[in-house]
Amino acid sequence: MFEFGRDLRKLFDKARESDDLGWLELIGADLVEAEARREAIDAGRVSCLRPFESWLRASALWREHARRTGRRESLDRAAKCASDAARHTSTPDQTAAAAIESGEIHLLRFDLFGGPATLTAALSDAQSLTAERPATRAAAAALHARLCARRARLSGQPSNLLDAAALLDAALHGARVLPPAAGDELRLDRAALALEAGVARRDARLLDQAGRDLRALVESASPDYRPLTRARALALAGAGLMALAELAGNDAARMQGRELFDAAADQFTPDHSPLDWVAVRLAQARDDTPLLQLSEVEALSREPGLIVGALARERRLAAEAGLAEAMADIRALTGLEATIRRRLANAVRTEPLDWAADQIGMARVAMARGRLTGTEPRAVGLMLAEALETAREWGAPALMQRAVLATPEPITRP
């Protein structure tokens, strides 16, 4: 037993020195934070023999913690560590590596908090990178492809989607010299892009490609060693099946999609990766999802400005308004409206996406009360239009979709 404990520590000590951070999937968010702090402290010591490598590793650890928890502070710490790494470069290749890490932080900041301007700045930096080592060149190509994929998905233009898919294909061909985790990120991005384009264009070839990528990821990502990668692939496959089920009206596919979401949720616990758990639960959420579950999801994503946090708040507000309407509880609707109004009154201090979520919630409350009282709600269209435009400006298509779904059907008079 004691030998096993020592051997396990040796295994983790060896993993800490590896360029592949896939082993982090085995530890929870709190331990990732502890590893990041330890690495940053070591990097800052005068006695540190390799400060560039240590700062770069500390940045990657803080970035992983931000990805798991959505904490802006962790993302800022990652940026500071990347900046410190840049100050300790001694070769052009190290300069490129520090710039790539900075680009990865920009990409994650966009994924978490939106803001297309972040993508533009990161793309500008990525296109000017020059690297010596094959691995650094491959990492630069992977970053550029992933950034282009994000921008293409925002544009929705078929030509941009196809160009981005070609860049991801090329980056994957060169990913053999990268750590396995980097290749998995590329495959997830390619699958997401192919899935979105395939559903939008009813393109069987793109859907087949997404299916192959996701199947390969699920089969290669062992639940014992890569639970988060496996869960992300399962959740993406579930989202794809649900989208196809809606298009075809296929109940069997809808059930299979739900089973994939359940399988994704079974791979890890909420404290292991709070945001992954939130993402799976939000993807699973339906009109009849219990209010308590939605409140738990919201509680894990309260960081101001977080995209999934805004989605969780909007879902919870929709459920609360729907419950009050079902019970014909005007007082509950009035109380909910007062709470939202207080938040909207602090618009100067409110993040744009949180504000948009509250606008959608306010519109839902107004419509629910109008149906109960037989009165016409005022300014609902304006609330939803402003929420939709804000979500578009900040690159949050999922929140845009929620605004569209909340929009009442126009009344046609004979």
SS3 of 287, please?
A: coil
* Of 347, 297, 303, residue with least CA distance to 317: 297
For 185-227, the pLDDT digits (tens) are 999 999 999 988 888 788 878 888 888 899 999 998 989 889 9
- In angstroms, the CA 176 to CA 194 distance is 21
- In angstroms, the CA 151 to CA 403 distance is 21
Structure tokens at 405: 């779904």
Q: Which residues of the chain have a pLDDT value below 50?
A: 1-5, 7-9, 11-12, 411-414
Structure tokens at 159: 């030509």
* Burial of 112 from C-beta contacts in 10 A (0-12 / 13-18 / 19+): buried
pTM of the predicted structure, to 2 decimals? 0.92
For the chain, the straight-line distance linking the first and the last C-alpha, in angstroms and rounded, comes to: 81
- In angstroms, the CA 150 to CA 117 distance is 12
Structure tokens at 85: 């790494």
Structure tokens at 15: 């993993």
HSE-CB of 387 using CA atoms within 13 angstroms: 31
Count Cβ atoms below 10 Å from residue 102 Cβ, excluding itself: 22
Q: Which residues contact 37 (CB under 8 A, 6 or more apart)?
A: none
Q: Are 61 and 98 in contact (CB under 8 A)?
A: no
> What is the pLDDT at residue 4?
38
Let me know how many helices (H) and strands (E) the chain has, helices first.
19, 0
* Of 74, 68, 90, 54, residue with least CA distance to 24: 68
Instruction: Determine the Cα angle at 301 with ends 222 and 145, to 5°.
Output: 55
Q: Are 251 and 274 in contact (CB under 8 A)?
A: no
Q: CA-based Rg of the chain, rounded to a whole angstrom?
A: 23
> What is the pLDDT at residue 347?
65
> What is the pLDDT at residue 319?
95
- In angstroms, the CA 126 to CA 275 distance is 27
For 362-383, the pLDDT digits (tens) are 999 999 999 999 988 888 999 9
- In angstroms, the CA 339 to CA 316 distance is 13
Q: Are 314 and 360 in contact (CB under 8 A)?
A: yes
- In angstroms, the CA 81 to CA 60 distance is 9
* Burial of 202 from C-beta contacts in 10 A (0-12 / 13-18 / 19+): exposed
* Maximum distance among all Cα pairs of the chain, rounded to whole angstroms: 83
> What is the pLDDT at residue 414?
37
- In angstroms, the CA 338 to CA 341 distance is 5
